[in-house]
Amino acid sequence: MALVHGSTTVAGVWGWPVRHSASPAMHNAAFAELGLDWVYVPFAVDPQGIGEAVAGVRSLGIRGVNVTVPLKELVGVHLDDLTPVARRLGAVNTLFWDSGRLVGDSTDGPGFLSALGHAGLRELSGRIVVVLGAGGSARAVVDALAGAGARVLVANRTREKALPLLELGAADVVDWSEEAIGDAVSRSGLLVNTTSVGMVPDVDGMPPVPAGCLRVGMVVVDLIYNPPSTRLLRAAREAGCVVQNGVEMLVRQGALSFERWTGVTAPVDAMRAAVLAELASRTH
């Protein structure tokens, strides 16, 4: 844990609740790794008090904030400006200062692309990608993939909720069925699960992805990190796919926020190690 001095700069994360967040462990490890006189603290912010919390950032001189569920869609109206991606998504996960203006950004999508790069997937232009889900995470992922030139096919249990993703650049919506998803995945090189199917406590949950459509060399990403390996990821590994859970996206979105605040390249290896240690400590 960082030592706090009179000179220490404060950053933090807002959620409601916030106690499950791995971000304090991750960012304090990053500050310690680089010897920066910063500290990162959790704040439980009642959604009804979000405007007062933003006023607090201004009056208390807080230099960086991450925003998580359920505040991401609520904070933007209280800020001086939004980055183009935050404006497109209607969601903010990072507050930072730019020339005296408090700006909202979303590093989730860029963090997702950075995590894909870590898995060896850098060139997405023209590739077919299947995204499962249509919530906030899916919006960030689809926006980033479409921006990188991928042809994104979306499947969601509630089909109507997937339609707004077409406005973010998704190419098509396919049915939430083994047949339709199997057909789409068979044509794709990357499958991304953004739903909570398979997440604790639903650890036996499996999206309707037939095992036969998963192939050697395909990349399968599950944004879930609890459990570390979902049924989907186990099936994908057995089929010879390259697999990645949600830890890397968590680390990479945090790294991009860190860089916005400090102007320093984030120590991603130290951040990943801190997240893994934090998550492991919870299961014991």
190 burial level (CB within 10 Å; 0-12, 13-18, 19+): buried
Residue whose C-alpha is closest to residue 207's, from 219, 221, 218: 221
| Minimum CB distance to ligand ATR, residue 138 (Å) | 6
What letter would DSSP give residue 10?
E
Work out which of 39, 138, 251, 268 binds ligand ATR, going by CB under 6 A. Answer: 138
| Nearest CB to ligand ATR, comparing residues 94 and 194 | 194
Catalytic residue among 27, 72, 78, 88: 72
**136 lies in the binding site for ligand ATR (CB under 6 A):** yes
| Nearest CB to ligand ATR, comparing residues 9 and 196 | 196
What letter would DSSP give residue 149?
T
* Tokens representing residue 175 in the block: 């049915």
**196 lies in the binding site for ligand ATR (CB under 6 A):** yes
List the strands of the sheet with 9-15, edge to edge: 38-44, 9-15, 64-67, 94-98, 101-105, 81-82
| Minimum CB distance to ligand ATR, residue 131 (Å) | 10
| Minimum CB distance to ligand ATR, residue 249 (Å) | 11
> What angle, 0 to 180 degrees and rounded to 10, lies between the N-to-C axes of helices 268-283 and 23-34?
140
Work out which of 93, 106, 156, 244 binds ligand ATR, going by CB under 6 A. Answer: 156
| Nearest CB to ligand ATR, comparing residues 138 and 168 | 138
Total number of residues that touch ligand ATR (CB under 6 A)? 14
Dihedral sign computed on CA atoms, order 7, 37, 24, 71? positive
Dihedral sign computed on CA atoms, order 271, 275, 278, 281? negative
| Nearest CB to ligand ATR, comparing residues 30 and 105 | 105
**137 lies in the binding site for ligand ATR (CB under 6 A):** yes
1 burial level (CB within 10 Å; 0-12, 13-18, 19+): exposed
Work out which of 12, 110, 133, 169 binds ligand ATR, going by CB under 6 A. Answer: 133
Residue 72 is a catalytic residue: yes
In sequence order, what are the residues at sequence separation of 6 or more whose Cβ sits closer than 8 angstroms to the Cβ of residue 179? Answer: none
Work out which of 47, 49, 51, 135 binds ligand ATR, going by CB under 6 A. Answer: 135
Contact stretch for ligand ATR (CB under 6 A) within 192-200, 212-220, 228-236, 265-273: 192-200
- What character string, x for contact with ligand ATR (CB under 6 A) and - otherwise, covers 161-180? x-------------------
CA 105/CA 79 separation, integer angstroms = 10
CA 130/CA 122 separation, integer angstroms = 16
Which residues from 98-117 bind ligand ATR, rule CB under 6 A? none
- Active site residues per annotation: 72
Summarize as ranges the residues that interact with ligand ATR (CB under 6 A): 133-138, 156-158, 161, 194-197
